[in-house]
A and B are shown apart, each in its own frame.
Chain A
């Protein structure tokens, strides 16, 4: 079962405008959420995260919002720049019975910023 879902495979945004990427999850035991950015032929790189006890975290042009009651989070990029064109993965952290921490990823959303 897909515990973390990104329902939009792709998104196209004009340069300078706001990009909003969405993510839904089903497991209420997730305690932390992260966004990763991936360029072709490279591994994902960490972008921004939010604890389940918060509802907003901001880092420069990037803001992540968490709505726990709706089990939904979103990433806002303002203003969007051509270098933001990449695949964005939403991920959720869960603890295993062994005490380890594991990330569960969504399917990814390909963001294209048009000049």
Chain B
């Protein structure tokens, strides 16, 4: 089974800090995604990457950036954390031709104070 690992389950950061959320998958998947989950809003796509060093904005990229230097690792960066970025962050991966069915990590609950 594909495993998607997010490095932290819980994080508390201060407003204005630069925050790194790490995601690693172990099945050589081409595509990786970062979503945030908020009550009443579901999962919203922040950024995705379909290859190393390739990235595309999702629906809510403002305040975020990403890095994909290696195929297995996709990092989400909050340049200057703000309280409205308090959320559950979920990383996912899938194969290029696996059109359907993402594999998600367990999530990182980020609180910005």
Docked complex Cα distance between A4 and B58 (Å): 15
Q: How far is the CA of A101 from the CA of B4 in the complex (A)?
A: 19
Stretch at the interface among B14-22, B37-45, B79-87: B37-45
Once bound together, how far apart are the Cα atoms of A43 and B90, in whole Å? 7
Chain A 35-49: CB-based contact to B (< 8 A → 1; otherwise 0) = 000000111111001
**B90 A44 Cβ-Cβ under 8 A:** yes
Chain B residues within an 8 Å CB radius of A32: 99-100
Interface residue tally of chain B, by bracket? 20 to 34
Whether B50 lies near A98 (C-beta < 8 A) is yes
**In the complex, which residues of chain A have a beta carbon less than 8 angstroms from the beta carbon of B74?**
none
Rounded to whole angstroms, the CA-CA distance of A107 and B94 in the bound complex is 22
Is B28 in contact with chain A by the CB < 8 A criterion?
no
From B9, B102, B107, contact of A103 by CB (8 A): B102
How far apart are A62's CB and chain B's nearest CB, in angstroms?
A: 14
Instruction: Give A96 to B42 CA distance when docked, in angstroms.
Output: 20
The contact size tier of chain A is 20 to 34
A43-B40 contact given A49-B100, A102-B45, CB 8 Å threshold: no
Docked-complex contact B56 and A89, CB < 8 angstroms = no
Q: Indicate whether A93 sits within 8 Å of B104 (C-beta atoms), given known contacts A43-B90, A100-B48, A102-B48.
A: no
- For residue A6, which residues in chain B have a CB less than 8 angstroms away from its CB? 42
Docked complex Cα distance between A91 and B44 (Å)? 11
Residues of chain A in range 76-104 having any CB-CB distance to chain B below 8 Å: 89, 91, 93, 96, 98, 100-104
If A41-B107, A43-B104, A44-B104 touch, does A101 touch B99 (CB 8 Å cutoff)? yes
| Chain B residues in 8 Å Cβ range of A93 | 99-100
Q: Across the interface, do B43 and A44 meet the contact criterion of CB distance under 8 Å?
A: yes
* CB contact list, B16-60 vs A, under 8 A: 31, 33, 35, 40-45, 48, 50, 56, 58
| Further contacts, 4 of them, CB under 8 A, given A43-B4, A93-B99 | A44-B104, A98-B56, A100-B56, A102-B58
Of all A-B residue pairs in the complex, the 5 with the closest CB atoms, nearest first, are A43-B104, A105-B43, A107-B42, A105-B42, A46-B101
B residues contacting A by CB (< 8 A) are: 4, 9, 31, 33, 35, 40-45, 48, 50, 56, 58, 90, 92, 94, 99-107
